[in-house]
């Protein structure tokens, strides 16, 4: 039973006339707030106002207006984030925001931003980059199912945004998973930003598309409150498949000179026009204040939002024999399997690569916490972000190169402050014969650019185990890069690692240069050190396993020991990876960083051949050292 249904006059909340009046009040708030801001999307908000009125005030959505983060209750995602004014208006009418606060829309010191962000406790994911809300909704629905909750997730989309392919990736997975507690809502107002939408009001096309993806699709008049309520009721009683509500609406609905008119997208009404519009709406508008809800005077402090708990697993890591060759991707899979029993909120997602990334080990042990997203990486990351909003710790894994197509989802997860973990395997030219299209060479740069991200790159099985655990215990967005080739174990099982750390793996009193590597290039650096020592030249070798945060103090001390002669070597493009991370910290101290990285278009071949061809082999490292020493 929803909060509104629990009030003494519950039946009146199903009164279509009253709900229609509340919808008009939401329109008035949307107009006033955007006019006060001088920008925004009032007409996009107005088309969805009746849908929002029924959902929030018609006894449909089970929510607590004073505790929106209650994990037992339903969730709402505004995927068409530009319609933020109507979202804020609904929460104001529900009693969470003061009405006066609505006029602070888009101001620097206001939580009511132009598109919804996590500064607001009733916003689970930042939206505004269109096409991503449904994926997050899938993640929330899966999380509720894992936890045995009867909670539903509602996702409001625009008809323009469902041209995005990620929407259909999400739609396919939702049907495969039979997520009957997921309800999509499409505001079909037929107008995009610059022109009419592709199908305008051809509702049968929308219906047939969603039905083809396995959804229960309902077409109705989005401004006829009786039909709106009936559609919601049908969705609530549908089993074994998700439901999408296809609402035929008018952009700017409720105001004669705005309804269905082009040229108003993203434009606030001038004050004079706003007053005219409000004058049309006011005779048929009504506050929800008579529902016995008590308004707050201002927004709750976002710092009171519950944080995801940080796990503290106490399991013993798998002990690897030193010198034995083990791929870090395999050790990563072993670590997930080991930690799964100690971190009950860990959920692993896969993009049809589990037998290569070794996440199949977790799948076999914890099938109920494994999500097969198939070859749909954008949706996989979006689902993972949705899972994180329900307190889960998602680890999404695929080949590093395929994560690049999901960069916008990763970017938005960063803006959502999601507790999201990613693993990219098969990185660099060292994968060998598969060729350039499979070689992740951009991933370190991509992940370093994400707000407050952690980027880790283990070199052997022990470091892969320890860094996987560190990442899962860290609260925030993080990435671990694993390798395809097997590499020798160089660390003891009790070796300690930390975020922002590095390891000195070779040092002598006579070192004349420092070489910094990570992953496969660490071993190329060690081989180069052996070859150089035969010629009387000794070098220091550093394992920079933490790319972000980088070990600034440790690397600076290492550089100072060897006369500021420092070389980085990485199986990554020259731009944005390990070399730039080190140079970004040390160049300000006067240390010149000499970078060895992949240049030129890669080709299929043996890993050793490719390392040599692209200038990052042990021979190339030794040659660079000799060159710098004259």
* Residue numbers annotated as active site: 377
Q: Where are the beta strands (DSSP E) in 300-345?
A: 325-327
- What tokens were used for 189? 């107002």
DSSP string, 492-526: -TT----TT--EEEE--TT--EEEEE-THHHHHHH
CB 406 within 8 A of CB 375: no
Secondary structure of 81-115 in the HEC alphabet? Answer: HHHHHHHHHHHHHHCCCCHHHHHHCCCCCCCCCCC
Distance (Å, whole) CA 64 – CA 87: 15
Residues facing 304 on adjacent strands: none
| 3-class DSSP assignment, residue 72 | coil
CA atoms within 13 A on the CB side of 445: 17
The residue behind tokens 């323009």 is 160
Dihedrals φ, ψ of 219, to 5°?
-105, 135
Cβ neighbors of 108 (< 8 A, separation 6 or more) are: none
Work out the burial of residue 324: count CB atoms within 10 Å of its CB; fewer than 13 is exposed, 13-18 middle, 19 or more buried: exposed
CB 252 within 8 A of CB 267: no
Q: Which strands, in side-by-side order, build the sheet including 478-481? A: 370-372, 346-350, 393-399, 421-425, 478-481, 454-456, 546-548
Q: Which of 622, 459, 423, 446 is nearest to 536 (CA)?
A: 622
- What tokens were used for 289? 């204040």
Distance (Å, whole) CA 367 – CA 263: 51
CB 457 within 8 A of CB 545: yes
The residue behind tokens 């004058």 is 279
Distance (Å, whole) CA 512 – CA 624: 13
Q: Is the peptide bond before 549 cis (omega within 30 degrees of 0)?
A: yes
Number of C-beta neighbours around residue 87 at 10 A: 28
Distance (Å, whole) CA 380 – CA 374: 8
Rounded to whole angstroms, what are the CA distances from 366 to 370, 374, 414? 7, 18, 27
Distance (Å, whole) CA 92 – CA 167: 29
């Amino acid at each position: 039973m929803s909060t509104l249904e629990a009030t003494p006059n519950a039946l009146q909340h199903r009164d279509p006339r009253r709900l229609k009046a509340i919808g008009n009040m939401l329109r008035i708030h949307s107009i006033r707030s955007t006019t006060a801001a001088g920008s925004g999307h009032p007409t996009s908000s107005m088309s969805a106002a009746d849908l929002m009125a029924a959902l929030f005030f018609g006894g449909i959505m089970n929510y607590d207006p004073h505790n929106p983060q209650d994990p037992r209750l339903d969730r709402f995602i505004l995927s068409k984030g530009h319609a933020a004014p109507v979202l804020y208006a609904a929460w104001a009418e529900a009693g969470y925001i003061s009405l006066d606060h609505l006029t602070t829309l888009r101001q620097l010191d206001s939580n009511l931003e132009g598109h919804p962000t996590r500064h607001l406790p009733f916003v689970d994911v930042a939206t505004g980059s269109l096409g991503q809300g449904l994926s997050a909704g899938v993640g929330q629905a899966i999380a509720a199912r894992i936890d045995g909750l009867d909670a539903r997730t509602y996702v409001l989309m625009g008809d323009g945004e469902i041209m995005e392919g990620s929407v259909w990736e999400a739609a396919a997975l939702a049907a495969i998973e039979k997520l009957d507690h997921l309800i999509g809502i499409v505001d079909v107002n037929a107008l995009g930003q610059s022109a009419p939408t592709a199908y305008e009001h051809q509702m049968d096309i929308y219906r047939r598309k969603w039905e083809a993806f396995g959804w229960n699709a309902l077409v109705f008049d989005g401004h006829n409150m009786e039909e709106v309520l009936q559609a919601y009721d049908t969705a609530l009683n549908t089993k074994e498949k998700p439901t999408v509500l296809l609402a035929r609406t008018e952009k700017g609905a409720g105001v004669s000179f705005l309804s269905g008119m082009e040229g108003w997208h993203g434009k606030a009404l001038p004050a004079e026009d706003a007053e005219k519009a409000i004058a049309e709406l006011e005779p048929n508008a009504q506050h929800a204040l008579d529902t016995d809800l008590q308004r707050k005077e201002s927004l709750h402090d976002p710092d009171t939002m519950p944080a995801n708990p940080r796990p503290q697993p106490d399991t013993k890591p798998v002990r690897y024999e030193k010198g034995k060759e083990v791929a870090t991707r395999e050790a990563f899979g072993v670590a997930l399997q080991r930690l799964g029993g100690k971190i009950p909120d860990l959920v692993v997602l896969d993009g049809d690569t589990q037998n290569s990334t070794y996440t199949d080990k977790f799948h076999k042990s914890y099938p109920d916490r494994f999500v097969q997203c198939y070859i749909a990486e954008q949706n996989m990351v979006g689902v993972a972000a949705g899972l994180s909003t329900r307190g889960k710790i998602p680890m999404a894994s695929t080949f590093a190169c395929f994560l690049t197509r999901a960069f916008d989802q990763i970017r938005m997860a960063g803006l959502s402050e999601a507790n999201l973990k990613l693993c990219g395997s098969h990185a660099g030219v060292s994968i060998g014969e598969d060729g350039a299209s499979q070689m992740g060479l951009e991933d370190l740069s991509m992940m370093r650019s994400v707000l407050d991200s952690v980027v880790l790159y283990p070199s052997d099985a022990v470091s892969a185990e320890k860094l996987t655990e560190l990442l899962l215990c860290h609260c925030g967005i993080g990435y671990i890069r694993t390798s395809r080739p097997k590499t020798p174990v160089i660390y003891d099982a009790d070796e300690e690692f930390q975020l922002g750390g590095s390891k000195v793996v070779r040092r002598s009193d006579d070192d004349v240069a420092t070489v910094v590597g990570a992953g496969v290039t660490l071993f190329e650096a060690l081989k180069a050190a052996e070859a150089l020592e035969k010629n009387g030249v000794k070098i220091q070798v550093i394992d920079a396993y933490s790319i972000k945060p980088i070990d600034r103090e440790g690397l600076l001390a290492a550089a100072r020991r060897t006369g500021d002669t420092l070389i980085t070597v990485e199986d990554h493009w020259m731009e944005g990876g390990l070399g730039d991370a080190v140079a970004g910290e040390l160049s300000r101290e006067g240390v010149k960083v000499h970078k060895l990285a992949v240049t030129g278009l890669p080709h299929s071949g043996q890993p050793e051949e490719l390392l040599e061809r692209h200038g990052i082999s042990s021979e190339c490292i030794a040659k660079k050292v000799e060159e710098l020493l004259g």
